[in-house]
Amino acid sequence: MPHRMENPANRFESVHIEWDGQDLEGQAPLAKLEVFEETAKSIVAENTSPDLGFRFSINPYRGCYHGCAYCYARPTHPYLGFGAGTDFERKIVVKKNAVALLRETFEKKSWQGEHIALSGNTDCYQPLEAKYQLTRGLLEVMEQYRNPVGIITKNALVRRDVDVLARLAKVANVRVTFSIAFADDAMGRALEPWASPISRRFEAMKILSDAGITVGQSLAPVIPGLNESDIPELLERGKEAGARFAFITLVRLSGEVLPIFMERLERAVPMRAEKVKNAIIEMRGGQMNDTRFGSRMVGSGERWKTIEQLFRIQVRRLGMNLEEALERAPTTSFQRPEKPKRQLPLF
C-alpha cells in the first residue's frame, strides 16, 4: 500500500525542480503536494482497449501534477481512495521499485521485447521525476536490453534524458511524442496549468530531434469551439521542430472529468464555454461523452469530418506521417545483456 512521504525540497532551495510553469495568476499553486511511495508488485501493464495504439505500458507515477482539466486518467485515482479533482493533481503515488521490476520483467523468458509505452495513463515526466528519476532509470534498462519504447509527455524535462534516448535510438525504435493541444502559452496555462509552457515543449522537441531521436506531436485533445483552428499552426511549429508524425483525438469527458473540465472552461473562457459544450454534444451524438470502444477518441458528424480533413490536408502538405516515420521496431532488437562469466579458481 502507498505510504505518505515528506514533500520534496522547495524548488527555490534545491537543484531539483518541483514545479515548472505557472498558473493563471503567475504564482506557484497553493494546494499542498503530498507524495506517497508504493512498492509495486508489477510494472508492465497490458492494454486491451482497441482505442489505444499500444499493448504494453509503464506508469511510474499515479496522479499527475500537471492538472489538465480534461485528463481522462482522473477516474483512476478514486481506486486508491483519493478524489479525481485536486487529489489527482496533488496526491502523487510513486512506484519506487519501478526500475528493478522492469529489469526482472526483461529477464523472464516470457518477455519477447515488445514495444512499451511510457506512459499510457499519467505523464512519466511530471515534476517529481526530477527528484526520483524513475523514467530515466527505466530508459537506461531499456537501453541495456535494446527494448523499443514510445514516450508521450507535456513536460520539457524530457530534454534532460536526451543522452540516454539518443543511445537507445541507435539500438532500438524510440519515439517521443509531445502532447501539444494549444497554440499559445496562455490557453495552455488555463487548461493545463502546471504543465510546461507550449513554447518550451517545442524547444524540447527540437533538442531531441537534433539528437537523432524520432519525435512527433499529439494534438490532443481537440476541443471543438476552442482549439481546432490551432491545428495548422501547431503542425507548422511541430514540423519546424522536427516532428515526423502527428495525430489528433477528440476530448473525452467521463463522469468525474466532466464537472472539472466545465468549471475550468467557464473560468478560463466564460463567453465561449456554452459554444464548446454544444459543439461537443454535436460530435458525441447528443451526449457529452461516448464510452464505447472505437468511439471514445473520435467524434461523429460533419463538423468532426471537417476537423479530420483539415488535419489530413496539413499533415500531407508538411510531409508528415510518412511510412518510414511510423515504422515500429522489430522485436528482434531486444537482447538480454551477457552475464559476466564466473572465473574458476586456479587451485
Tens digit of each residue's pLDDT (9 = 90 or more) over 243-269: 999 999 999 998 899 999 999 999 999
In a domain, 18, yes or no: no
In a domain, 339, yes or no: no
Higher pLDDT: 152 or 184? It is 152
In a domain, 120, yes or no: yes
DSSP 228-281: GGGHHHHHHHHHHTTEEEEEEEE----TTHHHHHHHHHHHH-TTTHHHHHHHHH
CATH of the domain at 257: 3.80.30.30
C-alpha–C-alpha distance, residues 7 and 59, integer Å: 21
Question: Is the Cβ–Cβ distance between 252 and 289 less than 8 Å?
Answer: yes
Q: How many domains does the chain have?
A: 1
pTM for the model stands at: 0.88
Q: pLDDT class for 52, splitting at 50, 70, 90? A: low
pLDDT at 330: 46
Range of the domain at 78: 28-320
pLDDT at 16: 39
6-31 pLDDT, tens digit per residue, is 433 333 333 334 344 444 444 444 56
Helix (H, G, I), strand (E, B) or coil at 136: helix
pLDDT at 143: 98
In a domain, 295, yes or no: yes
Smallest Cα–Cα separation from 186: which of 125, 268, 260? 268
DSSP letter (8 states) at residue 160: G
Average predicted confidence (pLDDT) for the chain: 88
In a domain, 329, yes or no: no
In a domain, 338, yes or no: no
Question: Is the Cβ–Cβ distance between 74 and 259 less than 8 Å?
Answer: no
283-308 pLDDT, tens digit per residue, is 999 999 888 877 878 899 999 999 99
In a domain, 188, yes or no: yes
177-210 pLDDT, tens digit per residue, is 999 999 988 999 999 999 999 999 999 999 999 9
Tell me, what amino acid is at 101?
L
In a domain, 244, yes or no: yes
